[in-house]
Amino acid sequence: MKIFVADTYEELSRQAAEDAITLMRSIKQPLVCPASGDTPAGLYKYFTTKKELAVSHWSFVGLDEWVGMDGNDEGSCLFHLKNQLFGPLHISQEKICFFNGRANDLDKECDNIEKFIQQHGTIDLAILGIGLNGHIGMNEPGTSPALRSHVTELDPLTKKTAQKYFKEQTEITTGITLGLATLMEAKHIFLLISGAHKANIVKRILEEEASAQLPGTLLRSHPGLTIYLDAGAAALIQPRTA
Ligand code: F6R
């Protein structure tokens, strides 16, 4: 596990983006799994400012989606990624596989996404964030790390915090997500964490015993994990840890 501590969110985003670009250059046809949410937005923005960045050979697999929503729903995970990443980088539709949270058959959505990953071999880079409850994707506290893609009841804190993605109060109860077993097979994981409000969860995932009750702790055993923190997120950890 490597930990990079930046002074600012901008520096965190730039470093993670540059590291991702360097990594992608070494892979013929990379498969990237991008989280949505506030934290990786700076990294995606940095991608879009790199004029010479060639991404036509990159493919993308969705990390998660709210059940009952698809990319046309404002506030959905795909909606945000279309605006921040896929649209600005002109990624063609056939290079993207994403959960359709409006599908009648959600198990089939899970099968499709797992097949897409298999067809590409494996995820080369998962760009992840973390919830205040330690969730990874929508792998909520208590989720078995043996699960692959699955449908899940959302934790109360996730439902509350997720309201920031919507213009109006929106009822969300369920999510569809890559499982930890799928994510742990990724070759590289970049876990981005920003802001003083995340300082406590950073301390907990680095210092507490690894447990399904705190999914972020389980990533520590991944050999290709890099954690990117800014000063706010790193505020409660010892300098030697960083
Ligand atoms: C988003 C996702 C979530 C977020 C996490 C942090 O696709 O899977 O696990 O990464 O909730 O969200 P932000 O970055 O908005 O604090």
Stretch 37-48: mean pLDDT: 98
In a domain, 213, yes or no: yes
Stretch 97-124: mean pLDDT: 98
Residue 59's domain is classified under what CATH number?
A: 3.40.50.1360
Question: In this predicted structure, what is the pLDDT of residue 242?
Answer: 47
* Residue 120 CA from chain centroid, whole number: 19
Active-site annotation holds for 64 = yes
Domain limits for position 96? 2-229
In a domain, 50, yes or no: yes
Closest to 193 measured CA to CA, from 8, 84, 39, 14: 39
- Residue of 13, 39, 180 with the most ligand 1 atoms within 8 Å of its CB, for mutation: 39
Atom 8 (ligand 1) nearest CA: 137
In a domain, 130, yes or no: yes
Closest to 141 measured CA to CA, from 129, 158, 127, 162: 158
Which atom of ligand 1 is the closest one to the Cα of 158? 11
Count CB-CB contacts under 10 A for residue 227.
26
At residue 143 the predicted structure's pLDDT band, cuts being 50, 70 and 90, is very high
Distance CA 123, CA 94 (A): 16
In a domain, 208, yes or no: yes
Active-site annotation holds for 80 = no
Residues 6+ apart with CB under 8 A from 218: 136, 145, 180, 184, 210, 211, 212
Give the active site residue among 135, 150, 188, 222.
135
In a domain, 131, yes or no: yes
User: Which whole-number Å values give the CA distances from 184 to 81, 125, 180, in the listed order?
Assistant: 22, 11, 6
Stretch 181-208: mean pLDDT: 98
* Phi and psi angles of residue 18, each rounded to the nearest 5 degrees, phi first: -65, -40
Residues 6+ apart with CB under 8 A from 219: 128, 136, 183, 184, 189, 191, 205, 225
Helix, strand or coil, per DSSP, at residue 225: strand
In a domain, 167, yes or no: yes
Say whether pLDDT at 45 is over 70. yes
Question: In this predicted structure, what is the pLDDT of residue 238?
Answer: 81
In a domain, 137, yes or no: yes
At residue 173 the predicted structure's pLDDT band, cuts being 50, 70 and 90, is very high
Give the active site residue among 65, 124, 140, 230.
140
Question: In this predicted structure, what is the pLDDT of residue 51?
Answer: 87
pLDDT in tens, 146-170: 999 999 999 999 999 999 999 999 9
Amino acid residing at 178: L
Count CB-CB contacts under 10 A for residue 115.
11
Active-site annotation holds for 140 = yes
Q: What burial class does residue 174 get, using C-beta atoms within 10 Å of its C-beta: 0-12 exposed, 13-18 middle, 19+ buried? A: middle
Q: Is the pTM of this model over 0.85?
A: yes
Say whether pLDDT at 241 is over 70. no
Instruction: Characterize the bridge pairing of strands 96-97 and 2-5.
Output: unpaired
- Residue of 9, 32, 60, 64 with the most ligand 1 atoms within 8 Å of its CB, for mutation: 64
In a domain, 40, yes or no: yes
pLDDT in tens, 106-119: 999 999 999 999 99
Say whether pLDDT at 240 is over 70. no
DSSP conformational letter for 1: -
Question: In this predicted structure, what is the pLDDT of residue 211?
Answer: 98
- The number of domains in the chain is 1
